[in-house]
C-alpha cells in the first residue's frame, strides 16, 4: 500500500493495492496478519514512528470494513527500514520516498 505524504491516506494506487489485499485475504483466510507501517525519512523519527503506526492502523480498519475477520496486529517502524530498491540510481528522490511510504503484511496461518 502506498500513502500520501505526511498522512495515513491511501494514494490511488494504494487503494487498489488495499482492495487487492482484501480480496486475497478473503481467499486465503489467514488466522493472523501483522501490518507493518513505514515512512520516508522526511520529518522527525518520533513523528515518523507515529505516522507509520497510523498507516498500519488505517489499513487494518480498511480490511476489517471489507470483511477480514481474522486477528491483526499493527507495528510502526517509522523510517528505520527503508524500501530496498534493486537499483537505487534508477529512481529520483521523490519516487524513493514514495516507495518508503508503505505498509507490509506478514501472514500467519
- At 108 the pLDDT is 87
pLDDT by residue, tens only, the chain of 109 residues? 889 999 999 999 999 999 999 999 999 999 999 999 999 999 999 999 999 999 999 999 999 999 999 999 999 999 999 999 899 899 999 999 999 999 999 998 7
- The pTM for the full model equals 0.91
* 5 inside domain: no
Q: In a 10 Å sphere around its CB, with 0-12 CB exposed, 13-18 middle and 19+ buried, how is residue 96 labelled?
A: middle
H helix or E strand, kind and range, residue 74: strand 71-76
pLDDT at 2: 86
Do 63 and 15 touch, CB atoms closer than 8 A?
A: no
Q: Which domain holds residue 52?
A: 12-108
Q: Looking at the DSSP assignment, which residues form a beta bridge with residue 72?
A: 33
Quickly count: other Cβ atoms within 10 Å of residue 26's Cβ: 13
CATH number for the domain harbouring residue 42: 3.30.1330.60
Say if 94 falls within a structural domain: yes
Please compute Rg for the chain using Cα positions.
14
Amino acid at each position: 500500500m502506498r500513502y500520501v505524504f505526511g498522512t495515513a491516506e491511501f494514494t490511488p494506487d494504494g487503494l487498489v493495492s488495499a482492495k487487492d489485499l482484501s480480496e486475497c485475504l478473503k481467499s486465503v483466510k489467514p488466522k493472523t496478519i501483522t501490518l507493518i507501517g513505514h515512512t520516508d525519512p522526511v520529518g522527525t523519527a518520533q513523528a515518523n514512528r507515529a505516522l507509520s503506526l497510523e498507516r498500519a492502523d488505517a489499513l487494518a480498519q480498511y480490511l476489517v470494513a471489507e470483511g477480514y475477520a481474522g486477528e491483526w496486529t499493527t507495528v510502526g517502524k517509522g523510517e528505520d527500514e527503508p524500501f530496498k530498491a534493486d537499483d537505487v540510481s534508477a529512481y529520483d528522490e521523490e519516487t524513493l520516498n514514495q516507495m518508503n511510504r508503505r505498509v507490509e503484511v506478514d501472514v500467519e496461518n
